A and B are shown apart, each in its own frame.
Chain A
Amino acid sequence: MKPFTTLTALPAPLLLDNIDTDTIIPSREMKSTGKTGLADGLFAPWRYRTPGGRDPDPDFVLNRPDHADAQILLGGGNFGCGSSREHAVWALAEYGIRAIIAPGFAPIFASNCTRNGIVPVTLDRATIEEIAASHAPVTIDLAAQTVRQEGGACWPFDIGAEAKAMLLEGLDAIDLTLKNRAEIAAFQQADRASRPWIYLGDIGQ
């Protein structure tokens, strides 16, 4: 996973609440069993004029020339709600999005982001509207947990310590967990002794 330290870019505003993962990547755009080839389908229902088509809708933010290479999105509340499909995050990452700033994220989506090098930045709604209105680049500094604008404001944000560490260093969660292999095995052994019925094959006669 690509580490994230700092990023300066013009954020693309998509200030709607409850943007769901069906909209971020519709099922019909998930054509293979792999993680790639999804960027084309990103926001397909809004980005293209017709369903399944590829004729860009000029009104959609990512089709505007100044946002064509967007790396940061500004979103509304409960961003990424709905289906748990990680394809939504894979599509965003493949398109080049590295961070999303929103008043709140759906939990599965936020977790998928941190597994794929995208920083979910939570700021309050008024600040996000202010950033959108300024039409100026912002710098996200993950180590400092700040979003700032040149010569202007600086807004701190919260992110879980583990998510932060994984994003900063591009760590693989499985590698991290397997360092606790012995503790996991010990837990499972004890749990199996006290609750055998939880484990397949130990349900009794």
Chain B
Amino acid sequence: MDHIVDTRPGRGDRTLMPGGQAFITETRSAAREAGITLFDVTDPDQGIVHVISPELGIVLPGCTLIAPDSHSCTQGAFGALAWGIGSSEAEHAMATGTLRMVRPRTMRVRFTGMPGPGVTPKDMILTLIARYGAGGGKGYAVEFTGEAIDALDMEGRMTLCNMATEFSAMTGMIAPDEKTFQWLRGRRYAPRGAMLERALADWRTLASDPGARFDSEVEIDAAAIEPMVSWGTSPEHSVGISGQVPDDPPERPIRYMGVQPGQKLAGIPIDAAFIGSCTNGRLSDLRRAAALLKGRHVAPGVRALAVPGSMAVRRAAEAEGLDAIFTDAGFEWRMSGCSMCFYAGGESFPAGSRVISSTNRNFEGRQGPAIRTHIASPETVAASAIAGHIADPRELAQ
């Protein structure tokens, strides 16, 4: 109940997506028949699966977690082996409790140094993908390490692991540490009491050994990373905010995006701004965007939406008054779901609109017919919404 649900306040089973309502009611009755817990449209725990599973303590270090959605790798942030599968494999898992697979090769991506102010996990993962390509992680399970990773909170780690699939990796994961254990403590499906002590003893053994050998090693200087923004139609088409479209880019992406070779990204006018998704729809994402939006307003003519990743995120944000900051700034404040991260015949922006979006995919038509998507961090989306053009959030923060 995340891709298909409506995110307009007052929602029920009806959705603007063709066939959406049938999908919701069929899923509900199938779940009931099979005795499967469903976090339904009006459930207080409803939300994007990769947001609510960690919220409820469903993902645990060392567990094997699959879902028929490519962004399932998000939950590798907890030291779980988590990855996306197709429907046939989901059926196989439900029928047998197993999957048949080839053991992936191993890659370690080490982020050395610390990212500067205004630089987020989204910018770190886009840097990796821009440098090594959208197919750069193919065949690998990737472990993210380094002091920049150790310093990340759990939500930031989820953002980073979320886009391992955009790197074509089977999964991305981070060794569980005290932050991981602290996050899980007291969550509904997480172990407790003596069982938690037993689990912790096991979880503390899960980190890679100091001398562990990987099939491939990559090192990125986190201190050199800028806020990133995409210019083309693949996440690999991304550059630092002070950068420009390459001088010799492939022809189809720049034609679709309506940008010129060598054009500077900052300053490109936008029509809309979107904050949300399984990549950047958590409380910390909303907080950081709200910090920039407070006391400011989106530029005239820019449509802006904020869509919390779960109803729990929405409630927590409202308790802090973030909803008022968003709405005062001219953003729509939505119920939780995948919303306009993708287009399925429901809501979209007018054809040809240029959208800056905290989502994970800038494919042709991803957000709607002829929509031009630039992916970036929530901060960059907020700063751009205020400016009316692609803008560096660091200038706003000063």
A residues bordering B, Cβ < 8 Å? Answer: 16-18, 20, 22-23, 26-28, 30-33, 35, 45, 51-52, 77-78, 81-86, 89, 104, 106-108, 111-112, 115-116, 160, 162, 173-174, 176-178, 180-181, 184, 188, 195-198, 200, 202-205
Q: A26-B343, A81-B168, A197-B198 are in contact. Are A86 and B88 (CB under 8 A)?
A: yes
Q: Are B96 and A174 in contact (CB under 8 A)?
A: yes
State the CA gap A27–B344 with chains docked (Å): 4
B292 at the A/B interface (Cβ < 8 Å)? Answer: no
Q: A22-B342, A31-B18, A84-B84 are in contact. Are A198 and B363 (CB under 8 A)?
A: no
Q: Are A200 and B189 in contact (CB under 8 A)?
A: yes
State the CA gap A178–B344 with chains docked (Å): 36
Residues of B within 8 A of A33 (CB): 19, 22-23, 26
- Count of interface residues, chain B, beta-carbon cutoff 8 Å: 65
The number of A-B residue pairs with CB atoms under 8 Å apart is: 168
State the CA gap A112–B194 with chains docked (Å): 42
Q: Are A112 and B97 in contact (CB under 8 A)?
A: no
How far is the CB of B182 from the nearest CB of chain A, in Å? 17
Residues of B within 8 A of A86 (CB): 68, 86-88
Interfacial residues of chain B within 368-396, with CB under 8 A of chain A in the complex: 369-370
Interfacial residues of chain B within 85-119, with CB under 8 A of chain A in the complex: 85-89, 91-92, 95-98, 100-102
Q: Are A112 and B86 in contact (CB under 8 A)?
A: yes
Q: Looking across the interface, which residue of chain B has its beta carbon closest to that of A196?
A: B195
Residues of B within 8 A of A22 (CB): 342, 361, 363-366
How far is the CB of A205 from the nearest CB of chain B, in Å? 5
Shortest beta-carbon contacts, A-B, top 8:
A204-B195, A51-B369, A27-B344, A28-B345, A197-B191, A78-B135, A86-B86, A112-B86
How far is the CB of B178 from the nearest CB of chain A, in Å? 18
How far is the CB of B133 from the nearest CB of chain A, in Å? 8
Q: A31-B19, A174-B96, A188-B97 are in contact. Are A197 and B365 (CB under 8 A)?
A: no
Interfacial residues of chain B within 173-218, with CB under 8 A of chain A in the complex: 189-196, 198-199, 202
State the CA gap A106–B89 with chains docked (Å): 15
Q: Looking across the interface, which residue of chain B has its beta carbon closest to that of A107?
A: B170
Provide the main secondary structure of the chain B interface: loop
B252 at the A/B interface (Cβ < 8 Å)? Answer: yes
State the CA gap A160–B100 with chains docked (Å): 12
Q: A81-B168, A108-B85, A111-B85 are in contact. Are A27 and B342 (CB under 8 A)?
A: yes
Q: A22-B363, A203-B191 are in contact. Are A174 and B60 (CB under 8 A)?
A: no
Residues of A within 8 A of B364 (CB): 22-23, 45
Q: Looking across the interface, which residue of chain B has its beta carbon closest to that of A106?
A: B168
Residues of A within 8 A of B149 (CB): none
State the CA gap A2–B279 with chains docked (Å): 38
State the CA gap A116–B86 with chains docked (Å): 11
How far is the CB of A51 from the nearest CB of chain B, in Å? 3
Q: A104-B135, A178-B96 are in contact. Are A32 and B70 (CB under 8 A)?
A: no
State the CA gap A72–B288 with chains docked (Å): 48
How far is the CB of A166 from the nearest CB of chain B, in Å? 9
How far is the CB of B249 from the nearest CB of chain A, in Å? 12
Q: Are B92 and A84 in contact (CB under 8 A)?
A: no
Residues of B within 8 A of A173 (CB): 88, 92, 100
B331-365: contact bitstring with A at CB < 8 Å (1 yes, 0 no)? 00000000000111100000100000000010111
Q: A16-B252, A23-B363 are in contact. Are A107 and B63 (CB under 8 A)?
A: no
State the CA gap A81–B345 with chains docked (Å): 21
State the CA gap A104–B134 with chains docked (Å): 11
Q: Which of B63, B135, B252 has the most CB of A within 10 A?
A: B135
Residues of A within 8 A of B60 (CB): 197-198
Residues of B within 8 A of A111 (CB): 85-86, 89, 101
How far is the CB of A110 from the nearest CB of chain B, in Å? 9
Given contacts A28-B17, A52-B345, A84-B70, 8 further A-B contacts (CB under 8 A): A18-B234, A20-B361, A22-B364, A30-B19, A35-B87, A83-B361, A174-B96, A197-B190
Q: Are A184 and B365 in contact (CB under 8 A)?
A: no
B219 at the A/B interface (Cβ < 8 Å)? Answer: no
B269 at the A/B interface (Cβ < 8 Å)? Answer: no
Q: Looking across the interface, which residue of chain B has its beta carbon closest to that of A203?
A: B191
Interface CB pairs A-B, < 8 A, 23:
A18-B233, A18-B234, A27-B3, A27-B17, A27-B345, A30-B19, A30-B344, A32-B19, A33-B26, A51-B369, A77-B135, A81-B168, A82-B363, A84-B69, A85-B86, A106-B138, A106-B168, A116-B88, A173-B100, A177-B92, A177-B98, A204-B192, A204-B196
Q: Are A45 and B365 in contact (CB under 8 A)?
A: yes
Residues of A within 8 A of B271 (CB): none
B236 at the A/B interface (Cβ < 8 Å)? Answer: yes
Residues of B within 8 A of A27 (CB): 3, 17, 342-345
